[in-house]
Amino acid sequence: SIATLLCHVIKINSKDLSVGRDMFFDFMDENFECDIGESQRLFDEIMELKYDDVDRHLSIVANALYNQSYMKMKILNHLNSMILKGGDISDEDYEFFEKVKGALFRG
Protein backbone atom coordinates (compact mmCIF):
# COMPACT_ATOMS: atom_id res chain seq x y z
CA SER A 1 0.00 0.00 0.00
CA ILE A 2 2.90 2.38 0.65
CA ALA A 3 4.15 1.57 -2.84
CA THR A 4 0.75 2.54 -4.25
CA LEU A 5 0.91 5.93 -2.51
CA LEU A 6 4.38 6.57 -3.91
CA CYS A 7 3.31 5.60 -7.42
CA HIS A 8 0.15 7.69 -7.16
CA VAL A 9 2.20 10.84 -6.67
CA ILE A 10 4.03 10.03 -9.91
CA LYS A 11 0.77 9.40 -11.77
CA ILE A 12 -0.85 12.68 -10.84
CA ASN A 13 0.09 15.32 -13.35
CA SER A 14 2.42 12.90 -15.15
CA LYS A 15 5.50 13.46 -12.98
CA ASP A 16 8.93 12.74 -14.45
CA LEU A 17 8.83 8.95 -14.62
CA SER A 18 12.58 8.37 -14.43
CA VAL A 19 13.00 10.57 -11.35
CA GLY A 20 9.95 9.06 -9.65
CA ARG A 21 11.00 5.52 -10.48
CA ASP A 22 14.48 6.00 -9.05
CA MET A 23 13.07 7.56 -5.87
CA PHE A 24 10.58 4.69 -5.58
CA PHE A 25 13.40 2.16 -5.89
CA ASP A 26 15.45 3.97 -3.25
CA PHE A 27 12.56 4.02 -0.78
CA MET A 28 11.72 0.36 -1.31
CA ASP A 29 15.35 -0.66 -0.90
CA GLU A 30 15.96 1.46 2.18
CA ASN A 31 12.76 0.56 4.01
CA PHE A 32 11.81 -2.89 2.75
CA GLU A 33 15.10 -4.31 1.45
CA CYS A 34 13.56 -4.87 -2.00
CA ASP A 35 16.16 -5.51 -4.66
CA ILE A 36 15.96 -3.65 -7.96
CA GLY A 37 14.15 -6.52 -9.67
CA GLU A 38 11.43 -6.71 -7.01
CA SER A 39 11.05 -2.95 -6.99
CA GLN A 40 10.83 -2.80 -10.79
CA ARG A 41 8.11 -5.48 -10.92
CA LEU A 42 6.11 -3.78 -8.17
CA PHE A 43 6.53 -0.35 -9.76
CA ASP A 44 5.46 -1.59 -13.21
CA GLU A 45 2.46 -3.44 -11.80
CA ILE A 46 1.18 -0.43 -9.87
CA MET A 47 1.86 2.08 -12.64
CA GLU A 48 -0.16 -0.04 -15.11
CA LEU A 49 -3.28 0.11 -12.94
CA LYS A 50 -5.88 2.51 -14.32
CA TYR A 51 -7.52 2.90 -10.91
CA ASP A 52 -5.38 2.33 -7.84
CA ASP A 53 -8.01 2.98 -5.10
CA VAL A 54 -5.60 5.27 -3.31
CA ASP A 55 -8.07 5.95 -0.49
CA ARG A 56 -8.19 2.26 0.45
CA HIS A 57 -4.39 2.05 0.40
CA LEU A 58 -4.09 5.22 2.45
CA SER A 59 -6.42 3.75 5.06
CA ILE A 60 -4.37 0.54 5.17
CA VAL A 61 -1.13 2.48 5.66
CA ALA A 62 -2.62 4.76 8.31
CA ASN A 63 -3.95 1.80 10.30
CA ALA A 64 -0.78 -0.26 9.95
CA LEU A 65 1.42 2.62 11.07
CA TYR A 66 -0.88 3.93 13.79
CA ASN A 67 1.86 4.15 16.45
CA GLN A 68 4.85 4.55 14.14
CA SER A 69 5.37 8.29 13.84
CA TYR A 70 8.91 7.95 12.48
CA MET A 71 7.80 5.82 9.52
CA LYS A 72 4.87 8.14 8.85
CA MET A 73 7.28 11.07 8.69
CA LYS A 74 9.59 9.13 6.36
CA ILE A 75 6.68 8.51 4.00
CA LEU A 76 5.62 12.16 4.05
CA ASN A 77 9.19 13.32 3.53
CA HIS A 78 9.63 10.97 0.59
CA LEU A 79 6.30 11.97 -0.97
CA ASN A 80 7.26 15.63 -0.61
CA SER A 81 10.63 14.99 -2.27
CA MET A 82 8.94 13.11 -5.11
CA ILE A 83 6.52 15.99 -5.66
CA LEU A 84 9.28 18.60 -5.65
CA LYS A 85 11.70 16.67 -7.87
CA GLY A 86 9.13 15.27 -10.26
CA GLY A 87 8.40 18.41 -12.25
CA ASP A 88 5.76 21.11 -12.07
CA ILE A 89 3.85 21.25 -8.80
CA SER A 90 0.08 21.52 -8.98
CA ASP A 91 -2.83 22.01 -6.62
CA GLU A 92 -3.53 18.29 -6.98
CA ASP A 93 -0.04 17.56 -5.61
CA TYR A 94 -0.68 19.74 -2.56
CA GLU A 95 -4.13 18.24 -2.04
CA PHE A 96 -2.77 14.69 -2.19
CA PHE A 97 0.06 15.49 0.24
CA GLU A 98 -2.36 17.11 2.69
CA LYS A 99 -4.72 14.15 2.35
CA VAL A 100 -1.93 11.71 3.20
CA LYS A 101 -0.73 13.87 6.09
CA GLY A 102 -4.25 14.14 7.48
CA ALA A 103 -4.85 10.40 7.24
CA LEU A 104 -1.54 9.46 8.84
CA PHE A 105 -1.78 11.92 11.71
CA ARG A 106 -5.51 11.94 12.39
CA GLY A 107 -6.50 12.64 15.95
User: Averaging pLDDT over each range in 3-12, 25-34, 86-95, which range is the top one?
Assistant: 25-34
pLDDT given at position 52: 74
- Identify the residue with better confidence: 89 or 39: 39
pLDDT at 107 over 60: no
CA gyration radius, the chain: 13
Arithmetic mean of pLDDT, 34-43 = 96
Whole-structure pTM value:
0.89
Instruction: Out of 6-15, 44-53, 77-86, give the one with best mean pLDDT.
Output: 77-86
Share of the chain above pLDDT 70, in %: 98
**12: pLDDT strictly greater than 90:** no
AA letter at 20? G
Q: Where are the alpha helices (DSSP H) in the chain?
A: 2-11, 17-32, 36-48, 54-64, 69-85, 91-104
Mean per-residue pLDDT for 11-30?
Answer: 89
